[in-house]
Structure formats: C-alpha cells, structure tokens
C-alpha cells in the first residue's frame, strides 16, 4: 500500500492524467492540498469526476497534522492531490520524508505546472533563470529579495518567472494573537498589484519600460496572455486568478516574434524589447 502524491495539472478536474485517475480510484482516502495553489473548479467537481469523497487539506493539516494523512497508509492506498506538479512546493517534499520515516512507500505521479506551461508565451524554457515569489506587502513588511534574483537573471539575459502570492485561510495578527480561529477572505495577487510592488522598490534591475508577459488562468479555456512594458501591463485587466508574471531578459528573435503577437502595442514592444539576432 502506498501514499500517492498526484499532480492535478493547471485548470480543472479533467487535467489529471490517466495514471493519476487510476491511482485515485484505488485509494481509501483522498486529500486535496488547498493552500499553495488552486484549481479553477471546486472539490465538488473533483468528487463527481473521481466518484470518491475528497478531504480538503489546509496548511495546518499538512504542516502540523500530517499523521492524519499518513494514518494506515501502510495498509491502504492514500492520495494527496496537488495542483500542478507534486513537487512544486517544498511542503510536499516534507510530506514524502515523513512518510518514508514511517516506512510508507510513496509514488509521485507528475503533471503540468506553471513551471513548464509558461512556455506557451513563446519564451524558451531553457532561457529562464531563478524563479521568484512576490508576496503581498504590508505596512510593516516589504520583503524585496526578488529584486536581487531578477537583476542576476537579467544580467545573464535570462527571463524571470514571478509566482504571485495567494492567501487562503489566513488569520489577522489580532486573531492569531488571541488564538481565535477566524480567517480572512481569500486573496490572490493580481499582475497589476505585483507590478505596483515591483516598481515601488528602488532598483536598476528593471524599470517601468522593461518588457514583461502577464499570464492568467494558464491551461484553462479563459487563459489570457498579454505582453508589454511593466507600465503598460499595470493597466491591463487580467480577470480572475491565478496570475503569473514573466520579466523578460534578452530574447532570441524567434522568441520575440511570438511574444510580439501578445503585445499591448507592437510599436512599444519593438522600442523596448531586448532582442538577440543569434
């Protein structure tokens, strides 16, 4: 008997692989990790498609109550479902280590994630540098470690995938301090918000005229891709979540040809894009 770590892909219940679906149907319990990312459909759609009940696993359960997930996984099959690919977040690696410590075999079943689906915008996956995360700024907390990584990538002519913050089942500082299990409404960072934060940091790594690509709801029927300067993208309505942003480095002319097709203004794109002829 095993613990399956199953990637669900990017969009809806039908993005699961055939191998993943067969594994799910063999399981006595099915958990859905629901805080590092989200699908475009609710668990009810998953349950109808899998013909199995699905248990929502929030951050507390995964990080502090993993024993409940691993219970009897040496006697029955258990599935842990992850949006995207199983190892897109270190939390999932930690769960595998905990299972191994208990002698429970683990079987990962891979799927598409933003890390490879981002190639749809035309920028070569071989030309990406370090991926960065951009979290919501607060009045007292403005982490900007992403700046150094974007700068290092751009110095080498590489593109930077920016993963934008999501807040699911978060507590306010006051409720946390008082021990009250009251949660804030979910929040998902938009591309314009991410750009506002990027441009609020003083840096030479990028500027308002740096070319970038905004991607929304990758893999879904309403997928949206728009390219332009950071300043231009700041005014684009990308609609519902999830959003990602790519800060472009130096583009091969073939990359530029594809990205140009998504441009807010082809004239502006041609003016500011850094393009190599080789």
Determine the Cα–Cα distance for residues 233 and 220; give it in Å rounded to an integer.
Answer: 21
CA–CA gap between residue 85 and residue 108 (Å, rounded): 9
CA pair distance 146, 133, nearest whole angstrom? 7
Is residue 242 within 8 Å of residue 269, measured between CB atoms? no
Q: Is 78 annotated as a binding residue?
A: no
**According to the annotation, is 252 in a ligand binding site?**
no
110 is in an annotated binding site: no
Is 88 annotated in a binding site? The answer is yes
Q: Dihedral, CA atoms, 57, 60, 64, 67, nearest 10 degrees? A: -20
Please check if 114 is assigned to a binding site.
yes
245 is in an annotated binding site: no
SS3 107: strand
Q: Does 85 show up as a binding residue in the annotation? A: yes
From 162, 98, 95, 110, select the one nearest 135 (Cα to Cα).
162
Strand runs labelled E in the chain: 3-7, 29-33, 55-57, 78-82, 106-109, 132-134, 160-164, 166-167, 187-188, 211-216, 224-229, 243-247, 251-252, 275-276
User: Cβ atoms within 10 A of the Cβ of 65, count?
Assistant: 12
Is 243 marked within a binding site? yes
Binding-site residues for S-adenosyl-L-methionine, in ranges, read 10, 85, 88, 113-114, 164, 218, 243
Binding-site residues, in ranges, read 10, 85, 88, 113-114, 164, 218, 243
């Amino acid at each position: 008997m095993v613990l399956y770590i199953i990637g669900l892909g990017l969009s809806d219940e039908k993005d699961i692989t055939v191998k993943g679906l067969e594994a799910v149907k063999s399981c006595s319990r099915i958990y859905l990790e629901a805080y590092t990312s989200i699908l475009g459909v609710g668990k009810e759609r998953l349950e109808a498609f899998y013909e199995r009940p699905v248990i929502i696993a929030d951050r507390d359960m995964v990080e502090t109550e993993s024993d409940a997930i691993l219970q009897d996984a040496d006697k029955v099959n258990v599935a842990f479902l992850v949006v995207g690919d199983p190892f897109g977040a270190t939390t999932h690696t930690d769960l595998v280590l905990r299972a191994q410590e208990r002698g429970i075999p683990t079987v990962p079943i891979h799927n598409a994630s933003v890390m490879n689906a981002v190639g749809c915008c035309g920028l070569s996956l071989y030309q990406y540098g370090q991926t960065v995360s951009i979290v919501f700024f607060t009045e007292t907390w403005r982490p900007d470690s992403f700046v150094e990584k974007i700068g290092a990538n751009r110095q080498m002519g590489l593109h930077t995938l920016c993963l934008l913050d999501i807040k699911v089942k978060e507590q306010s500082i006051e409720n946390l301090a008082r021990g009250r299990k009251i949660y804030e409404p979910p929040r998902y960072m938009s591309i314009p918000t991410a750009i506002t934060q990027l441009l609020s940091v003083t840096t030479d790594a990028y500027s308002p005229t740096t070319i970038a690509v905004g991607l929304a709801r990758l893999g879904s029927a309403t997928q949206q891709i728009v390219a332009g300067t950071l300043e231009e993208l700041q005014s684009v309505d990308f609609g519902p979540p999830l959003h990602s942003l790519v800060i472009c480095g130096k583009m091969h002319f073939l990359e530029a040809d594809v990205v140009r097709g998504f441009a807010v203004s082809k004239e502006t794109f041609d003016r500011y894009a850094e393009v190599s002829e080789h």
